[in-house]
Copies of this chain bind each other. A is one copy, B any other.
Amino acid sequence: MKKKITIAIDAMGGEDAPKKNIEGLNIFLNKNKFKNDFVIHLYGNKLILDKELSKLGISSDLVKIIHSDSVVSDEETPLTAIKNSKNTSMWNSINAQVDGEADISLSAGNTGVLFVISKMILKMMNKVSRPALAGLWPSKKGMSVVLDLGANIECDENNLVDFSEMGAALFKSIFPNQKPYVSLLNIGSEEIKGTEVLKKTYAKLKSLSSDKNFIFKGYIEGNKLMDGETNVIVTDGFTGNVALKTAEGTAKFVVDSLKKSLTENIFSKLSLIFSYFSLKKFKSKLDPNKYNGAIFLGLNGPVVKSHGSTSEVGFYYSIDLCYKIIKGNLMDQIKSNLDHLNGRD
Q: Which residues of A are interface residues toward B (Cβ below 8 A)?
A: 138-140, 150, 153-154, 185, 187, 194-195, 221-227, 235, 237-239, 241-258, 260-262, 264-265, 267-268, 270-275, 277-279, 281-282, 285-286
Contacts and interface: CB of A to CB of B under 8 A. Distances in A.
A250 B278 CA distance: 20
Contacts of A286: 254, 257
Given A238-B195, A242-B185, A250-B251, A285 B257 contact: yes
A130 to B, nearest CB: 16
Contacts of A254: 250-251, 254-255, 286
Contacts of A235: 242
A246 B187 CA distance: 11
25 contacts: A150-B187, A153-B187, A187-B238, A194-B238, A221-B245, A222-B245, A222-B246, A223-B245, A226-B253, A227-B249, A242-B242, A243-B243, A246-B247, A247-B249, A250-B254, A251-B254, A254-B286, A258-B258, A261-B275, A264-B278, A264-B281, A268-B277, A268-B278, A274-B274, A275-B275
Nearest to A268: B278
Contacts of A139: 253
A268 B275 contact: yes
B278 A261 contact: yes
Cβ-closest 6 pairs across A and B: A222-B245, A271-B274, A222-B246, A271-B275, A268-B278, A223-B249
